[in-house]
Amino acid sequence: MQLGCPTENDQGKPMTVDALKEEILVNSGEDTLLILPEAKRLTTSIRYWLEDMISAGARVVCFAVANPGRDIFLDMLEIELDLPSDRHIREVMEAEAEKQGLQISKSRLAELQPLAGRNPMLARKIIKNEKLGLKQDKPEHTQYVVIMPVIIAALMAFGIVRFVGLGTGNRGLYITGGCCLVTGMALKQLGSVKGARKRLGQ
C-alpha cells in the first residue's frame, strides 16, 4: 500500500503472497526503499524475491544482530551500528513509564537501568514488569564465555605428562598425569550435566 500497489484482484479478493510479491516487483524502481527488521527470520522465498528486487534497482536495508552470511547478505554492505547510549535507554524507559501510566522516580530508574543494558526492548519490558510489581534483581542479557578449548588443552597437557612419565620410566610422573587426566575428564562430563531449566511449580 505504501508503494501504491493494489492489494486485491479483479474479483475484489485479497491477493496471494506470490501475487503481491510480483505486483511489488513490477511497481518498484530505483526510488524504492525496503527496510526489513529481524532479517534473520526472512524465509528462503523472500530472500530470493529480494534478489530480484535488488536487480530491479530497489534499495534494501536489513537489520540483524549478526550477518547470516548467505544468499543476499553476501552481496550486501555490512555496517555495524553503535549501541544506544545510557541516556537513550533512560529516555526509552521514561517514555514507556509514561505510556503505562506509571509514576517512577529518578532514583528507581537509575536502579532499573543496569538491568536493561543497551537494549531498548529490555528497557520497555523492565518498565512493564515494574508496573506489574514483579521482582527484578538480575539482568537477562547474560553473555557466557566458552572455556571448552582451555579445558581440552589442559586435558591434552595432562596426557602429554602421562606419556612423558611412561617414556622416561618415571612412575610418579606417569601416575600423576594419568590421575589428572581421568579427573579432568570426569569433571568435564559432570560439567555438561544440565537439568530442566524450569522454576519450581512449572
Is residue 135 pLDDT above 80, yes or no?
no
> Can you tell me the distance from the alpha carbon of 67 to that of 80, in angstroms, rounded to the nearest whole number?
10
Grid cell at residue 97:
513509564
| pLDDT at residue number 202 | 39
81-131: pLDDT as tens digits: 888 888 888 888 888 888 888 888 888 888 888 888 888 888 888 888 888
| pLDDT at residue number 61 | 92
> pTM higher than 0.75 for the full model?
no
| pLDDT at residue number 201 | 45
Q: What percentage of the chain has pLDDT greater than the value 70?
A: 89
Q: Which long-range contacts (CB under 8 A, 24 or more apart) does 29-36 make?
A: 29/56, 29/57, 29/58, 30/57, 30/58, 30/59, 32/3, 32/57, 32/58, 32/59, 33/58, 33/59, 33/60, 33/61, 34/58, 34/59, 34/60, 34/61, 35/61, 35/63, 36/60, 36/61, 36/62, 36/63
162-179: pLDDT as tens digits: 778 878 888 887 788 788
139-160: pLDDT as tens digits: 555 555 667 777 778 878 877 8
